[in-house]
Structure 1
Amino acid sequence: MNLGLISLILLLAAIIIGFVRNCNVGILCMAFSMILGIIYGMDVKEILSGFSSSLFIQMVGITYLFAIISGNGTLELLARKMVGLVGTKRHLIPFVMYILGFAICAVGPGAIPSLAIVPVIAIPVAVSAGVNPIMTAIIGDLGVMSGRMSPLTPESAVVRELMEEQGMKGNTLPIMAAMIVTALVTMILVYIYYKGWKVDETVALQQEKLPAFTGKQWLSILGLVVLVVGALFFSWNVGLTGFTIGSALLVLGCGDEKKAIAAIPWNVILMVLGVGILMNVISLSGGIDIMVSALEAIMGKRTATMIMAIAAGLMSFFSSGLGVVFPTLIPTATGLAGGLGVSALELVAVIVIGGTVSGFTPISTTGALIMAGVSQQENAEERFPQNRMFIELFAVSFIALAVLAIFAFAGIYGLFIS
């Protein structure tokens, strides 16, 4: 059997086995990758090239820093003070996070650093307020995605250039409008699924006067500000910055290194990186081409936009939206539009949206950071089982893609894209 097809089947098998038998999906994927390598004679270096060192550094660095900040009580107190600002309307916290995510992204930094920052703000705030942290982080990141095509972002610059190379007008505002509509509908569905209006009443709001921050906690907050500013405005690597600030805080006596290292969610990191190794096998063996070719074979005038949206989303499961999906598919928009009689701008819009909203999978940085952040919370394994969270984050990506596909098929985007 074709390696690409069998590797896709084994990925699905790993997810199912992990959920049913409560095994780490990433370790299963590494085992399957080795088996495929032996059977099909793949070089070990090829298989291990799927190990993302940059993702490893980012996940470990950011969770290391926040383990230090959490360990000295800074995050808890900061979250309690922020929750106090909402008063008794705790169910509104997710919507506040949506607005915050949109604002952070749209002012210029773009989605890549913003998607890493928003969950680490949203999760502790949600936990302290008795609101579901997974839902809150997802909605916050939907806000980030909504602002991705702001004319100020680097992602918008890439898309504009790709459009102009085809003779199209490089205006991304209609695409941003389409993205916002998709994100808002997805947000409503996520809010309904998690019953966001229900708040854990056992988590009492702090009515008494909260204590002031200590000197060490102020240093920790300063470190957090440096992280946010550095990542958003100076393009510092979030992981390396996390290690640097964490080291400085330890030298200043603001944390315990052993406790911080022990608090890093290694099981989640193994899951994410292990799946990435099997994903690399899928990519090298043509598994992505199998899926895309199957979709293109059934593309017609009525279904072209919908199929392109799905193709972009599925490709984004295996590769970077900005680095692979956009430059690969956007250049085909004009040709397909002319041959099929559809709008080239609509095709570009669904490619951008599909390559963005599918980013909640745990094998992406967005989904991985949500899993890592939630896993650091108290009693996380009991309250938010990893395998269930793994499936739910995949489900959010598919729900967003379903919304996109339905809107594309119904011609909704054509109402405001011209």
Structure 2
Amino acid sequence: MSAQVIALLALGGVFLVATVTSVNMGALALVAAFVIGGLAYGVPADDVLSGFPGSMFVILVGVTYLFALAKNNGTVDWLVHAAVRAVGGRISLVPLAMFLIPAAITSIGAAAPAACAITIPVALRFAQQYRIRPLLMSMMVIQGTTAGGFSPIAIYGVIVHGVTDAAGLPSNPGLLYLGTFGATALLGVIAFLTLGGRDLIGRRDETDSEPLPASAAAGEPPSGPSTPRRPGARGVATSAPAPIDIAQASRLTLERASTLAALLVLVVATLVFDLHVGMVALTIAVVLTLVFPATARTAVEQVAWSTVLLIGGIMTYVAMLEEQGTIDWLGRGIAGIGVPLLAAFVLLLIGAVVSAFASTTALLGAVIPLATPFLLNGDIGVLAVVVALCVSSSVVDCSPLSTMGALAVANAPADQRDKVFGGLMVWGMSLVVIAPVVSWTVLVLPAS
């Protein structure tokens, strides 16, 4: 068996083991890089570690550090409740708000599971209050979370642009953001129309201007014991969050206003002046910490270290594969299919299937390089394939076997969990097939 085959089987084993156990995929990938690098390729550990993505490390730490500050000082809560208040008594707009809120949170740099975990308890409590199907609200939150995930300063977007730049492929942050946002928004519309949203049109609730009780806003049941912990995908455990003081969450303090201004500075600095998003976010986070130290004490602990480890490990392993020519070897094999359009479709299908069960974050860093050999030939639109791959790999996160789908099931009312699980399973597995077909037809085919 060749070294290339051994290395690729090991990568598949990393995805499989991380899917069925609680071991961090990045840690597994680093171990695999050390073992496979030494045994299959004869590469010393120092050379393996030279592929660790230092720039990506700074970006992930800086962005999630800033988001942790925004969460600690209540800026995120303020954004959530400001959006909910804007709905007024129009119940049909509640699902829309539950789409836009997580989209905004992930657009400014939050990790997708974190944004979902913040929003889903509130969304499902509103579903109970306004008699909206929990499955509809779950789909709106999950697709909204995905919609913002590919902004130029969001984690998914940063990963994709980092991988494409490293591979020498052209990138267009704005096009990627608009393309993925449009696809998830379309899914949101379909979910709204097919899961009971039409029945909400015209309904009003004159009492919705009253604030929810703290326990309700936090996603807790109206009475009785707190929601038990329920295992999610890949060892994720969820539970009802602590009660929220609605009056306090709705107050725009100096610290929250400063944080909102800081987030605006981040957007302008990175999009207009093309500054390094990680360094800008880290600089802003340090300034906020110095000015408002009281709420910043635990922010560093809340940095998405597991995501940093995951991305660092996967990209280190992929860098080793690239250095040893394995990625080119596999890419040539896919390109050897002889038909670039068919090769692109195979990649889209691989992305959708794997992402429905494993980490989308890790997948984006591992699969995109596979497309490099045949994309560089110029026979097919590079940006179209990248956007299609991102769409196919992300919209399937509504599967209850993924982290966000599991969060929705765990936070659903006890008597609705089976229905939510079954509904998300149908949507997720359907999208595994539909998303690659549609994205290939709409995006890839016209660009060939």
TM range (shorter): 0.5 to 0.7
Q: Structure 1 pair 317/35, CA: closer, same or farther in 2 (3 Å)?
A: same
SS in 1 for 2:29: helix
Question: How far, CA to CA, are the matches of 2:304 and 2:177 in structure 1?
Answer: 35
Q: CA deviation at 1:413?
A: 6.1
Question: How far, CA to CA, are the matches of 1:194 and 1:50 in structure 2?
Answer: 46
Question: How far, CA to CA, are the matches of 2:263 and 2:255 in structure 1?
Answer: 13
Q: Structure 1 pair 293/141, CA: closer, same or farther in 2 (3 Å)?
A: same
Letter in 2 for 1:357: V
Q: CA deviation at 1:61?
A: 0.9
For the Cα contact (< 8 Å) 2:49–2:316, is it kept in 1?
A: yes
Q: Structure 1 pair 239/23, CA: closer, same or farther in 2 (3 Å)?
A: same
SS in 1 for 2:377: helix
Question: How far, CA to CA, are the matches of 1:77 and 1:178 in structure 2?
Answer: 28
Question: How far, CA to CA, are the matches of 1:297 and 1:183 in structure 2?
Answer: 32
Q: Structure 1 pair 47/192, CA: closer, same or farther in 2 (3 Å)?
A: farther
Q: Structure 1 pair 255/14, CA: closer, same or farther in 2 (3 Å)?
A: same
Question: How far, CA to CA, are the matches of 2:446 and 2:316 in structure 1?
Answer: 41
Question: Is residue 2:374 matched to residue 1:357?
Answer: no
Q: Mark the runs of 5 or more structure 2 residues left unpaired by the alignment.
A: 125-136, 153-168, 199-216, 223-243, 352-362, 396-401, 413-426
2:323 to 260, 277, 284: 284
Q: Structure 1 pair 236/124, CA: closer, same or farther in 2 (3 Å)?
A: farther
For the Cα contact (< 8 Å) 2:388–2:443, is it kept in 1?
A: no
TM-score normalised per structure 1: 0.61
Q: Structure 1 pair 96/18, CA: closer, same or farther in 2 (3 Å)?
A: closer
Question: How far, CA to CA, are the matches of 1:135 and 1:22 in structure 2?
Answer: 25
Q: Structure 1 pair 127/3, CA: closer, same or farther in 2 (3 Å)?
A: farther
SS in 1 for 2:297: helix
CA displacement, residues 330-377 of structure 1 (integer Å, 9 cap, x when unaligned): 55345xxxxxxxxx6xx557434345436759xxxxxxxx98xx8xxx
Q: Which residue in the other structure is 1:306 paired with? A: 342
Question: Is residue 2:256 matched to residue 1:239?
Answer: no
Q: Structure 1 pair 253/94, CA: closer, same or farther in 2 (3 Å)?
A: closer
For the Cα contact (< 8 Å) 1:3–1:285, is it kept in 2?
A: no
Identity %: 20
CA displacement, residues 314-334 of structure 1 (integer Å, 9 cap, x when unaligned): 79944796xx78986455345
* Equivalent runs, 1:2-401 vs 2, <5 Å: 2-39=2-39, 40-87=41-88, 88=91, 89-93=93-97, 95-96=99-100, 116=109, 124=118, 128-130=122-124, 132=138, 134-141=142-149, 202=220, 211-300=250-339, 304-311=340-347, 317-318=364-365, 329-330=374-375, 332-334=377-379, 350-354=384-388, 356-357=390-391, 360=394
SS in 1 for 2:327: helix
Q: CA deviation at 1:201?
A: 6.3
Q: Structure 1 pair 215/283, CA: closer, same or farther in 2 (3 Å)?
A: same
Question: How far, CA to CA, are the matches of 1:92 and 1:124 in structure 2?
Answer: 16
Question: How far, CA to CA, are the matches of 1:201 and 1:273 in structure 2?
Answer: 34
Q: Structure 1 pair 263/115, CA: closer, same or farther in 2 (3 Å)?
A: closer
Question: How far, CA to CA, are the matches of 2:2 and 2:197 in structure 1?
Answer: 44
Question: How far, CA to CA, are the matches of 2:253 and 2:349 in structure 1?
Answer: 46
Q: CA deviation at 1:47?
A: 1.0
For the Cα contact (< 8 Å) 1:305–1:350, is it kept in 2?
A: no
Question: How far, CA to CA, are the matches of 2:103 and 2:18 in structure 1?
Answer: 35
Question: How far, CA to CA, are the matches of 2:429 and 2:329 in structure 1?
Answer: 19
Question: How far, CA to CA, are the matches of 2:258 and 2:438 in structure 1?
Answer: 48
Q: CA deviation at 1:211?
A: 4.5
Question: How far, CA to CA, are the matches of 1:293 and 1:415 in structure 2?
Answer: 21
Letter in 1 for 2:385: I
State the number of aligned residues.
Answer: 339
Q: CA deviation at 1:33?
A: 1.1
Question: How far, CA to CA, are the matches of 1:117 and 1:352 in structure 2?
Answer: 22
SS in 1 for 2:298: helix
Question: How far, CA to CA, are the matches of 1:123 and 1:228 in structure 2?
Answer: 24
CA displacement, residues 244-278 of structure 1 (integer Å, 9 cap, x when unaligned): 11221122225444311122232232122112222
TM-score normalised per structure 2: 0.58
CA displacement, residues 146-193 of structure 1 (integer Å, 9 cap, x when unaligned): xxxxxxxxxxxxxxx98xxxxxxxxx99x9999788656666789999
Q: Structure 1 pair 134/184, CA: closer, same or farther in 2 (3 Å)?
A: closer
For the Cα contact (< 8 Å) 1:10–1:32, is it kept in 2?
A: yes
Q: CA deviation at 1:217?
A: 2.3
For the Cα contact (< 8 Å) 1:24–1:271, is it kept in 2?
A: yes
Question: How far, CA to CA, are the matches of 1:274 and 1:56 in structure 2?
Answer: 11
Q: CA deviation at 1:65?
A: 1.6
Q: CA deviation at 1:37?
A: 2.4
For the Cα contact (< 8 Å) 1:313–1:401, is it kept in 2?
A: yes
Q: CA deviation at 1:78?
A: 2.7
Q: Mark the runs of 5 or more structure 1 residues left unpaired by the alignment.
A: 102-112, 145-160, 163-171, 335-343, 362-369, 385-395
CA displacement, residues 111-149 of structure 1 (integer Å, 9 cap, x when unaligned): xx96847968887555544465544211334788xxxxx
Question: How far, CA to CA, are the matches of 2:434 and 2:284 in structure 1?
Answer: 40
Q: CA deviation at 1:98?
A: 9.7
